[in-house]
Amino acid sequence: METRDVLVIGAGIAGLASALGLANGGFSVYLIEKEAAVGGYAASFCCKATDVCSKCSVCVAPDKIKEAVIHPQITLLTNSTIKKLSGELGDFRVEIIQQPRYIDVERCIACGLCTEVCPTEPKAVYPPSAEATPFSYILDEGLCLRFKGEDCKLCRESCPTKAIEFELKSKKQELSVGAIIVATGFEVFDAREKGSLGYGRCPNVLTGLDLERIFNREGYLKLPTNGNEPKKIAFVQCVGSRDENHGYCSQICCKYAMRLAGLVKYKDADAEVTIFYIDLQTAGKGFAQFYEEYKESIRFVQGVPVEISQTSSGELEVRYEDISQGKVCREIFDLVTLSVGISPRHDSWNLAKILGINLADQGFFDIKDSLGPNETNVDGVFLAGTCQGPKDIPDSIAHGMSAASKAIQVLSEFASRRRGNQRGH
Amino acid sequence: METKIGVFICNCGGSIKNINFDAAREKVAKIPSVTCVNLSSNLCLGEGKEKMLSYIKEENIERVVVAACSPELKEHIFRQVLEGAGLNGHFFSMANIREQCSWAHEGDVTVKAVELIKMAVNRIRLLQPVEKKELSVNKEVLVVGGGFPAISSALQFSRIGLRTTLLEKKPNLGGKLREIEGFYSLETSSMIGAVEEDENIEILTSTEVVGVEGKIGDFTVRIRKGAEEILRNFGAIVFATGYETEVSPQDFQLKLGINIISQERLAQMLQASSVERKPESVGFIYDVSDENSRLPTLATLNNALTLKERWGSEVYVFCKNVKVDSEGVEKLYREVREHGVMFLKFDEKPRISAEDGRVKIEAKDILLGEDVTLTCDLLVAEEKLVPAEETEALSTLLNIRTDSRGFYQDENVHLYPVSSERGGIFFIGGCRSDLDFQRALVDVSSVVMGVYKLLSPGKILVEAERVKVDRQKCRTCLTCIRVCPHSAIQLVRVDNEKEVAEISDLACDGCGICAAICPAKAINFEGYSDEQIVAQIEAIGAS
């Protein structure tokens, strides 16, 4: 029998690209996602268009998410993780644990009645983030009185579609698949690790991810401290990239910082925006023309700040070495954005152990050799997206498609080899 | 005969409280063509779906409006019900009376809910049927080019059983493969051997593409070899025609010569078994004529390292930014610096002059903040990436726009990086962008996926005549043909008389540009015709 089932681990943008490629190519896909919603980070980013599209490709995510969720060839398992793997190429067996959601995704109509009646503060049952798919309410075990031994069932009684079920337990299932694509993504660098840059200490120091989400959910920028519009804004590049612990470039930060800076200028032409950088990464299809425009309106300073502190009046003092003048300068800003980079997931080693695949020296999953961008040391297990190394959205999609292509190639060969063997008997 | 429209209103489990559903039902029932109005509280759930299905059958409903939550959430579920009832999925519309009505306002919103429903009814009343049809596709692939991406994609196509023709204009396969093989442990001869032995791959060398007709799944390609021209059919075409490099001496006010050489010349010198005299100091310079390319950084780092190892010369690199945004390049950059290569970053263009048979470089180094003057035995000049010679001619031939630097494929790069505006035509590798080796590899296997998806089923499902030209109204002004980004429109002769525009269902992407621009209003985009849109607008405020 020909194996046409593939497992994709992780439903971020790369995993979705792999799953859709395979499904549209006639394969059946199990798409498992650790979180309650699919889409990964890309789903929460903001559109960075001004009068023209800045080609950040964030808008690609919702289409892919919707297509995958309703695709008849894709079985989506949310809240699921992989526990065990046995077998080999063409005949893997995978044990999956699915944590209970307590709220039936099919039955939840997102009406909000459960949240209204929930007696705890903060509420134990609440809506998912605005961009979540599937858009189903979430019941938080840690907050729900029921899981603390009390006999509260207000939400279940209020639910008009009887979508709430407290008694669910985690579910174990075994899947048989021919190939596996690992697309578990990345972690955003935790800017608190760079204590001197003030993140977590000064409220007006944000990260690139914070800014993405503020623009996505609110549409405009205001100072976290007093709600005023910031007038002097700085971006600090290479936070968590190209340093002693991260011997790589995250590949996304220069472009997102420039696009976000362009967006800030577009929303408020009087805002003064400065970008502190080491080397500007402006290569890539179609980016040159944007860079030429950004050069006109944004100040670029070579050299990254060493310290950011808050003055008594709540402004931010940025200390940096102005290389062109050869001296240490201090400058006051209203808001500083740290362009945080891509870090490998801290739980990667665990999955690497289960699957038997290698980690590279930085903690990303390793490829077998430089001629195969997706192949791991285990035949039939492929990598897609940022779990293999930093990538932007278009590169992640291409890498996801490439992984799907490799899975189809090995399964086609496996099938014809098996047919050959059968004829031989 | 009047079309029978059924309206299904859902109160979302009773959670929509500011609409008077009984009043709404009464008003909706009076809208022309509405033959049945059904009130439900759980339309998207099992029970609700069953009821909806049986109603459609009992009342012989032909078209359906669902007034409920946002189509983002449950539209696909209702479409499944329609399919189950054997109705055309095109005859369906949703009125969002929850997010865009009930939740958006305080107080009673029955009037608005009824108007939203009326808009949806008015729209689907005028819809015309759109049938789906299957068209068969040719399963052969043409790959144009002879370099690494071309060879490698042909081999991968063969692995999944697609017959491939590899077409190269030069007499031999290989392209720039021999120049880069050392960096990536490739063996040019074994790769070429593999394609030559592969029975799924046909190789045509000294051959050029001179014409492409037809559309996705069914291209006719005119191929020229010497004086001979032949026609061949393919389902998809992959262009991997690469790039070229040029050195612009005017950027340096100097001519290339013994002392100023290109990266390519340096690579040859480094590959040679011996050199006449090892240069004691070598300078590299880039970011002068093009500061937005990654390949000069990659070539410089690779060559500087080899140079250090082979000749042990002093090496200085003059640039604006080190482009490290490719896999492993930051690591390579560190290694190069550990080998003692010095990087000097300039903002203003350095001055280069000849001095005693050596090259003098004067630059203001922004890291030191000082003017630096260095004299080198050899200066390796920046190579600028330019599109391959035939790019312009081919892009005109294919009617595919090039980007601001003249490389293939302007639009759509972020949706699926290797595809183009025209279905079935793909671009990979250096002919579309300045890709490092890893990205080029990804391009190769990702195009294999794209083509597999398209051709492996052997047929494509398309909507027939969704966008259609009214032959009576068409005045042959050619506006639509000019604006169509997908080359989906052609002229056809009718009754041996006038020529009119005709839209190919296969190539049409449904963007609607032609319908909007046609000065004679001869193009109808079913579902979005003027009549249908006006009918919707007229429903606003009518009650």
Contact across the interface for A112 and B15, Cβ inside 8 Å: yes
pLDDT tens-digit readout, B500-516: 999 999 899 899 999 99
What residue spans define the domains of chain B? 5-130, 141-242+388-459, 248-381, 465-525
Of B198, B141, B200, B205, give the one whose Cα is nearest residue B170: B205
For residues A167-180, give the mean pLDDT. 94
Residue among A59, A7, A57 at smallest CA distance from A33 = A7
CA atoms within 13 A on the CB side of A2: 14
Which of these, B64, B63, B65, B67, lies nearest to B100 by C-alpha position? B67
DSSP state letters, B96-150: E-IIIIITT-SS--HHHHHHHHHHHHHHHHT-----EEEEE----EEEE--SHHH
If you measure CA to CA, which chain A residue comes closest to B367?
A323
Whether the ipTM is more than 0.85: the answer is: yes
With a cut of 80, say whether residue A322 has pLDDT above it.
Answer: no
Tell me, what DSSP letter sits at residue A202? Answer: S
The predicted pLDDT at position B247 comes to 84
Residue B72 and residue A66: Cβ atoms within 8 Å? Answer: yes
Topology of the domain covering B465-525: Alpha-Beta Plaits (3.30.70)
Mean pLDDT, residues A4-20 taken together: 96
> Is B5-130's fold the same as B465-525's?
no
Residue of chain B with shortest Cα separation from A393? B414
CATH 3.50.50.60 at B248-381, yes or no? yes
Q: Contact A323/B160, CB-based, under 8 Å? A: no
Question: How far does the CA of residue B199 sit from the closest CA of chain A (Å)?
Answer: 15
What's residue A375's pLDDT?
A: 97
Measured distance CA(B250)–CA(B432) in Å, rounded: 26
Of A280, A402, A412, the CB nearest to B160: A412
The verdict on a CB contact (< 8 Å) between B448 and A409 is yes
pLDDT of residue A99: 94
Å from B453 to nearest chain A CA? 4
Nearest residue on chain B to A24, alpha-carbon basis: B453
Across the interface, whether the CB atoms of B417 and A284 are under 8 A apart is answered: no
* List of chain B residues whose C-beta atoms are within 8 Å of the C-beta of residue A413: 159
Q: Characterize A156-168 residue by residue with b for buried, 16 or more Cβ atoms within 10 angstroms of its Cβ, and e for exposed.
A: bebbbbebbeeee
Beta strands in B446-531, from DSSP E residues, in sequence order:
459-463, 467-469, 489-493, 499-503, 523-525
| Helical segments of B280-425, H only | 295-311, 329-338, 391-398
The answer to whether residue A338 scores a pLDDT higher than 70 is: yes
Task: Please state which of the ranges A147-161, A389-403, B246-260, B356-370 shows the lowest mean pLDDT.
Answer: B246-260
Where do the H-state alpha helices sit in B389-456? Answer: 391-398, 437-455
Q: Region of B200 please: left (phi>0), alpha (psi -120 to 50) or beta.
A: alpha
For B343, left (φ over 0), alpha (ψ -120 to 50), or beta?
beta
**Using a CB-CB distance cutoff of 8 angstroms, which residues of chain B are in contact with residue A280?**
320-321
Residue A32 — very low, low, confident or very high, per pLDDT cuts 50/70/90? very high
Write the pLDDT tens digit of every residue in A297-317. Answer: 999 998 889 999 999 988 999
Whether B13 sits inside 8 A of A291 (CB atoms) is: no
Contact status, residue B139 vs residue B455, Cβ threshold 8 Å:
yes
Q: Do B160 and A408 touch (CB under 8 A)?
A: yes
To the nearest whole angstrom, how far is the Cα of B88 from the nearest Cα of chain A?
19
Two structure tokens written together for A314: 């709540």
Beta strands at B63-68 and B5-10: parallel, antiparallel or unpaired: parallel
CATH 3.30.70.860 fits A5-99+170-185+345-424, yes or no: no
Report pLDDT digits (tens) over B380-439.
998 888 999 889 999 999 988 888 888 998 666 556 789 898 999 999 999 998 899 999
At B109 the pLDDT is 95
pTM: 0.93
Q: What is the pLDDT of residue A176?
A: 96
A:B CB pairs within 8 Å: 178
What are the residue ranges in chain B where pLDDT is below 70? 1, 251-256, 410-415, 542-543
Specify the fold of B5-130. Answer: Rossmann fold (3.40.50)
The residue ranges of DSSP E strands in A71-157, in sequence order, are 74-77, 80-88, 91-98, 125-126, 138-139
The H-or-E segment that residue A422 falls in is helix A393-424
CATH code 3.50.50.60 region(s) in chain A: 5-99+170-185+345-424, 189-341
A75 in helix, strand or coil? strand
* Closest chain B CA to residue A64: B415
Q: Average the pLDDT over A236-243 and give the result.
A: 95
Residue B285 backbone dihedrals phi, psi, to 5 degrees? -140, 135
SS3 B455: helix
C-alpha–C-alpha distance, residues B164 and B236, integer Å: 10
Quick one: fold of B141-242+388-459?
FAD/NAD(P)-binding domain (3.50.50)
State which fold the A189-341 domain adopts. Answer: FAD/NAD(P)-binding domain (3.50.50)
pLDDT of residue A425: 57
Chain B residues closer than 8 Å to A57 by CB: 414-415
The reported pLDDT for the residue numbered B254 is 65
Could you tell me which chain B residue has the CA closest to the CA of A405? B449
Give the Cα separation of B514 and B484 in Å (integer). Answer: 7
How buried is B63 (Cβ within 10 angstroms: 0-12 exposed, 13-18 middle, 19+ buried)?
buried
* DSSP H or E segment with residue B165: strand B164-167
